[in-house]
Chain A
Amino acid sequence: MKKNKASVFFMWFVFISGMIYFFLPLYATFDFSLRMLKDRLSLEAYKEVFKDPNFYTNFGYSMVWSVVTILICMLLFTWTAYWMHLKMPHWRPYIEFVSLLPFVVPAVVLIFGLIRMYSRVSVGSFNLLGTPILLIATYVVMAMPYMFRSVDAGLRAIDVRTLTEAGQCLGASRSQILFQIIFPNLRVSLLNGLFLTFAIVIGEYTVASLLGWPSFGVYIRYAVAMKAYEPAALSLISFLMTWVIMMIVQYVGRGSPGQTQIATH
């Protein structure tokens, strides 16, 4: 009995400590963001943020970068992981190693290497540096560990080979199998990867700044340098957006179809 009480107390202690550790800074930030006007609490900082046209411009750009990055990641890494599971399982250690490389290379090093390599690549007057292609390609590389591993975990949970063969026997091509059978059964994994990719891109500063492209991260950095209360408001808006997207992911991913089952009856 004594041992039970002690362990329950300890559980609550850890839980409450964790909640305080997480929510106290958020509360402090929120409190600070309400004190733009002297002597009273107000949402003035938030109004200033939403009045600023640069907020919408930069946020819009980041949304576009996110969407394009997510689409490329979903197509590229899902197909790669699918092919690895189907035809090249012995390549797994090497592909997993490559997928982890973005963790090792700092963003600054990555972007300077890419600038150095692609600044000399021109086709007529077309140069990669003048387009957002390099920016998005960098984001794809940075999102690779998250998206690839998320998809890989999803593929491990289904019998990829048998489902593919079943589809082939019914006359389906590989792309039909991928989009009509594999993708729908990876819904939760893809959404998790999507969410992580979005979170990386929406708040990213270094790459966009060095390549000279507008982004939400660059805007926040500018606000921090020039203003006092608005950055606090922006931080909380970012958190709120992240939580909303997470809830959407949870909602869309609920009731995901069961996996291929070998029943006992």
Chain B
Amino acid sequence: MAFIQIRNVSKAFSPNTFAVRDFSMEIGRGELVSFLGPSGCGKTTTLRMVAGFEIPTSGTIFIKDTDITHKPPNQRNVGMVFQAYALFPNMTVAGNIGYGLRIAKRPPAEIEQRVKEMLALVHMANFGDRYPHQLSGGQQQRVALARALAVKPEVLLLDEPLSALDAKIRVSLRGEIRTIQKELGITTIYVTHDQEEALSISDRIVVMNGGRIEQIGSPFDIYNFPQTEFIAQFVGTLNAVKVEVKDAAAGILRLENQTIKTTQTSDLGKNGDQVMIAIRPERLSISADGAAGNVLEATVENITFLGAIVRIQVKIDQATFHIDTFNDPFIALPQIKQKVHVAFPEEAVMALKNK
């Protein structure tokens, strides 16, 4: 039995404006599921419905077989970490972490012990007496996490908790969040618009667009086998180009003057159709002659150094492609305007559905 069940949940803020449409999914115990999508896609609204801050217009939400759809937030035993931290400015770090336990009228000794445990968990054992305004953003978010976990909630909700932090802190803190989540085995829903965040920490990702679910899958599946054009464009970088289907059964496509082969023939339609195909930049390479798979003639237009990655922009007929290759200072890069061969395996070519 799923730990969290969200069944056909919709939320309308006015008769013709749906923030969430017919959202259904199940989340297993101990799973970390990310809701990923652009601003306004309904991911935060869905999270807030699980938290109890919004009531669904229709549909139901269950936690451990209990219908919580209309329960007030303070009766759901759900912990939440907010984007703006929401630490109580009038309380110390220890006071913030212990607040939920004081509300629950736990004995003072138990509260003190639990606060110590939580401070140790988030590596802030010496910060108990400080006030929130004396902490950095990363520290505040750790305290917010400790506060949410102190009351041993059944579900942990995180609403873009790292958005307000700088890049380096985001990377280290998201790893810490994932480690703590796994250690405690707490079922978690994580809302983010950052695909790298979602891909790196999630057991499964729900990609949302326009209030609807586009795809649910593991990070590997979402990235490598996007089911729609939106997902392919939103998650990761993508080379997308329109081609003509020459032989749908054999997977032969025509890009202006050159032929491309694909093994993914199920979504090609019929011969003569125009179809959008996509290839990840890291699946392309500048090849020597005689490489296997697809080999196309191209002209180098631009080279961008991105640190660990070098991005080479090439023109294949009239289409622009990007090739991502690892930075190796001992391998010479091609020159601008140089004629090269671009190789990629047949299975790297994805035909995109436009939902």
Query: Is B124 in contact with chain A by the CB < 8 A criterion?
Result: no
Whether A265 and B166, one on each chain, are in contact in the complex, defined by CB atoms closer than 8 angstroms, is yes
Q: Which of A53-61, A100-108, A171-179, A220-228 contacts B (4 or more CB under 8 A)?
A: A171-179
B204 to chain A, nearest CB (A): 24
Cross-chain contact of A260 among B53, B78, B132, B136 (Cβ < 8 A)? B132
- Taking the complex as formed, is B23 at the interface, i.e. its CB lies under 8 A from any CB of chain A? no
Give chain A interface residues in 73-113, CB to chain B under 8 Å: none
In the complex, the answer to whether A172 meets B74 with C-beta atoms within 8 Å is yes
Interface residues of A in 139-176 (CB under 8 A from B): 158-159, 162-163, 165-173, 176
Given contacts A165-B53, A258-B131, contact A181 B90 (CB under 8 A): yes
Q: Complex: how many Å from CA A172 to CA B76?
A: 12
Chain B interfacial residues counted at CB < 8 A = 40
Count A-B contacts at CB 8 Å.
101
Q: Which residues of B contact A158 (CB under 8 A)?
A: 89
Flag if B74 contacts A159 (CB, 8 Å).
no
A264 interface residue per 8 A CB criterion: yes
Task: Knowing A258-B131, A258-B132 are in contact, say whether A165-B73 is a contact too (CB < 8 A).
Answer: yes
Minimum distance in angstroms from B135 CB to a CB of chain A: 7
Residue A263 is within 8 A (CB to CB) of chain B in the complex: yes
Task: Give A22 Cβ to nearest chain B Cβ, in Å.
Answer: 36
Q: How far is the CB of A189 from chain B (nearest CB, A)?
A: 13
Stretch in contact with the other chain, from B6-14, B79-87, B321-329: B79-87
- In the complex, chain A residues whose CB is within 8 Å of the CB of B137: 262-265
**Contact partner, A166, options B80, B131, B134, B138, Cβ 8 Å:** B80
* Interface size, chain A (Cβ < 8 Å): 28
Instruction: List A contacts of B80 (CB < 8 A).
Output: 165-166, 169
B169/A163 in contact, CB under 8 A? no
In this complex, the member of B51, B82, B136 whose beta carbon has the largest number of chain A beta carbons within 10 angstroms is B82
Assess the A169–B73 pair: CB atoms within 8 A.
yes
Closest to B137 in A: A263
Contact A166 B136 (CB under 8 A): no
Complex contact B84–A162 (CB within 8 A): yes
Nearest A residue to B73, CB-CB = A168
Known: A158-B89, A259-B89, A262-B84. A169 touches B79 (CB 8 A): yes
**For residues 81 through 140 of chain B, which have their beta carbon under 8 Å from a beta carbon of chain A?**
82, 84-90, 99-100, 103-104, 131-138, 140
> Bound complex: CA of A169 vs CA of B87, how far in Å?
12
Instruction: Evaluate contact between B165 and A265: CB separation under 8 angstroms.
Output: yes
Q: Please list the 8 inter-chain residue pairs (A to B) with the smallest Cβ-Cβ separation, ordered nearest first.
A: A258-B133, A263-B137, A170-B100, A184-B90, A166-B86, A168-B73, A162-B86, A257-B89
Could you list 13 A-B pairs, sorted by A, with CB under 8 Å? A165-B73, A170-B99, A258-B89, A258-B134, A259-B133, A260-B84, A260-B85, A260-B89, A262-B84, A262-B137, A263-B136, A264-B137, A265-B136
- Which B residues have a C-beta under 8 Å from some C-beta of A? 51-53, 72-75, 77-80, 82, 84-90, 99-100, 103-104, 131-138, 140, 147-148, 151, 153, 164-166, 169
A interface residues (Cβ-Cβ under 8 A, vs B): 158-159, 162-163, 165-173, 176, 180-181, 184-185, 187, 257-265
